Amino acid sequence: MNDVKMESKKSKALLSLILNILMFVFMILCALAIVFTVASKKNASDDGAVTVFGYQLRTVLTGSMEASEHTNVDGYDIGSIPTGSLILVKTAPEDPEKLNAWYENDVKPGDVLTFRYSGYGLRQVTITHRVIDKQPIDGGYIISLEGDNKSDSTNPGVQTIDTTKRTGSGDYIIGEVVANSLVVGKAMNFVKSPAGIILLIMVPCFFIILFEVIKIIKISKKDKKEEIEKATADKDGEIEELRKQLEALQKQAATQQVSEQSTEKVAETSTEEQNDRGSQAEVTDSTEITEDSEK
């Protein structure tokens, strides 16, 4: 029985520990979300992407970077990027000297770059394509980029970026894609959906509130149990006190009875002694009378 109680206590303690850890992780995630939101307002790019510690997270919206039968991407660090993938972009340096050195030393054919482009005349858009050529010019480079899916009807063909014409509204390279994940991208897209918001925010909040209510109920029951135990202990104490008083009275009565009996015996003894003395006196008197008669 005691072993069962011990196992039950251990299970409850383990469950409580797990819930506390989950709550702590949830609060950390909320704090990171707040920090991320504040940082996004301060470090947002032209298209609203968030830059944190020199990196951006972006979602690929089209299939232009999905490898086709006309493209071989086996030898590249970044291979095929399916639609819906999350990409991690390391932003280009902001300092002009470091930026030129980056173009010269780091950017090479086969790299996947994210860039702003307005070559279609309507509006400037953000594109992620692979570098197919880099040609030096006076003061910079002409970088040519193209999507991997050349059979895609939405493939816009080749884009060219003149690195010497970087202005506030011109075409420019945002950075290099250093990692991508379709699974994480789908998860992020789900989180942004109404169902994801309900699952990741409302459901944990519901369980947190539920566990807090259960904890309050347990504390209330524990307090009530302690009150009942205290009241029972007080009553037991009163009963014990009354029992002691009763025993004291019984002892007192017994002592008094013994004393009375002793007094009665003493009185009886005294009476007997007096009677004996009276009898002796009568005998003495009779003897004296007899002696006088004889004389």
pLDDT digits over 157-177, tens only?
Answer: 789 999 887 655 578 999 999
Q: Clarify whether residues 112 and 219 are in a common domain.
A: no
pTM for this prediction: 0.58
pLDDT score of 108 = 94
Name the packing angle between helices 203-294 and 2-43 (round to 10°). Answer: 140
pLDDT range class, residue 218, cuts 50, 70, 90: confident
Q: Does residue 60 belong to any structural domain of this protein? A: yes
pLDDT range class, residue 36, cuts 50, 70, 90: low
The stretch 135-144 carries a mean pLDDT of: 92
Q: Does residue 290 belong to any structural domain of this protein? A: no
Q: Clarify whether residues 129 and 219 are in a common domain.
A: no
Q: Clarify whether residues 23 and 131 are in a common domain.
A: no
pLDDT range class, residue 72, cuts 50, 70, 90: confident
Q: Does residue 293 belong to any structural domain of this protein? A: no
pLDDT score of 243 = 84
Smallest Cα–Cα separation from 105: which of 65, 134, 139? 134
Q: Does residue 291 belong to any structural domain of this protein? A: no
pLDDT range class, residue 20, cuts 50, 70, 90: confident
Distance in angstroms (rounded) separating the CA atoms of residues 142 and 271: 146
pLDDT range class, residue 6, cuts 50, 70, 90: low
Q: Clarify whether residues 29 and 63 are in a common domain.
A: no
What are the pLDDT digits (tens) for 238-258?
A: 888 888 888 888 888 778 777
Q: Does residue 157 belong to any structural domain of this protein? A: yes
pLDDT range class, residue 3, cuts 50, 70, 90: low
Q: Clarify whether residues 173 and 55 are in a common domain.
A: yes
Query: Do 89 and 56 meet the contact criterion of CB atoms below 8 Å apart?
Result: yes
Q: Clarify whether residues 158 and 262 are in a common domain.
A: no
Domain that holds residue 255: 193-278
Smallest Cα–Cα separation from 190: which of 55, 36, 114, 86? 86
Distances, alpha carbon 49 to alpha carbons 55, 90, 154, 175, in Å: 10, 12, 23, 12
Q: Would the pLDDT of 153 be above 60?
A: no
Q: Clarify whether residues 214 and 255 are in a common domain.
A: yes
Smallest Cα–Cα separation from 59: which of 114, 110, 109? 114
Percent of the chain with pLDDT over 70: 74
Q: Does residue 187 belong to any structural domain of this protein? A: no
Q: Does residue 292 belong to any structural domain of this protein? A: no
What are the pLDDT digits (tens) for 88-137?
A: 999 999 898 999 999 999 999 999 999 998 876 667 889 999 999 999 99
Structure tokens at 181: 């994940």
> Which residues touch 57 (CB under 8 Å, ≥6 apart)?
49, 50, 86, 87, 88, 89, 188
pLDDT score of 71 = 77
Q: Clarify whether residues 14 and 100 are in a common domain.
A: no
pLDDT range class, residue 51, cuts 50, 70, 90: confident
Q: Clarify whether residues 221 and 103 are in a common domain.
A: no
Query: Do 32 and 111 meet the contact criterion of CB atoms below 8 Å apart?
Result: no
Q: Clarify whether residues 105 and 200 are in a common domain.
A: no
Total domains present in the chain: 3
pLDDT score of 118 = 82
Q: Does residue 287 belong to any structural domain of this protein? A: no
Q: Indicate the residue type of 250.
A: Q
Asked whether the CA dihedral 74, 75, 77, 78 is positive or negative, the reply is negative
Q: What are phi and psi of 170, to 5 degrees?
A: -85, 180
Q: Clarify whether residues 178 and 219 are in a common domain.
A: no
Q: What is the CATH number of the domain that holds 174?
A: 2.10.109.10
Mean pLDDT computed over every residue of the chain? 78
Distances, alpha carbon 175 to alpha carbons 56, 105, 131, 188, in Å: 9, 14, 12, 21
What are the pLDDT digits (tens) for 172-209?
A: 999 999 999 999 888 888 877 888 777 777 777 787 78
pLDDT score of 18 = 77
Q: Clarify whether residues 53 and 178 are in a common domain.
A: yes
